Amino acid sequence: MGDVSQYGAVAVGLAVKELGRDLAGLEFRKGRFRYEHRFTRLKYPILLLSVLGFLFFLQTAFWSYHEHQYQSQRVAGFEAEMENAYEAFFATKLTEGRDPLEAAKDQKKKWQERASTASRGRWTSPRPCAISPRSSTPRA
């Protein structure tokens, strides 16, 4: 190893270090071969990535908030439309805070009970009607 030139010594030193034999523990690399800490080169890309991630989640939260507002307005519109339909169909005002669908189901039950009590004791088959036979002879 005595014949190794100045540049060859650096290469041999690096190779020996990779094999796990670093007796001196010194680093003489300069320029683009200099020793850097593990995350020194990653410091700015990681910072940029974290800023972009934060902006992405901020934008997503903004969109979600506005989507929630829009859906809340649609739900309020559907509820108002259901109230109007109930009032138009049943010709009565809906009590404040009552669900129109539940009120319609209750009204249907009342109608069914009224219909069942009105038809009790009566025979509910259809009435016979007079059927006139058609003549099979053609008219002239």
Q: Average model confidence (pLDDT) for the chain?
A: 79
| Residue 2 resides in a domain | no
Q: What is the mean predicted confidence (pLDDT) over 64-79? A: 96
134 band by pLDDT with thresholds 50, 70 and 90: low
| Residue 81 resides in a domain | yes
d(CA 140, CA 125): 41
d(CA 66, CA 72): 10
Helix (H) or strand (E) holding 78: helix 43-90
Q: Which of 5-9, 47-51, 90-94, 123-127 has the highest mean pLDDT?
A: 47-51
Predicted structure pTM score: 0.46
- Taking CA 93 as the corner, what is the angle to CA 90 and CA 95, rounded to the nearest 5 degrees? 120
pLDDT digits (tens, 9 = 90+) for 30-69: 667 666 676 777 889 999 999 999 999 999 999 999 999 9
In angstroms, how far is CA 20 from the centroid of its own chain?
53
| Residue 80 resides in a domain | yes
pLDDT at 69: 97
| Residue 1 resides in a domain | no
Number of separate domains in the chain: 1
| Residue 76 resides in a domain | yes
| Residue 82 resides in a domain | yes
| Residue 136 resides in a domain | no
Q: What is the mean predicted confidence (pLDDT) over 106-135? A: 69
Task: State the residue range of the domain holding 53.
Answer: 8-116
pLDDT at 128: 56
| Residue 34 resides in a domain | yes
In angstroms, how far is CA 43 from the centroid of its own chain?
35
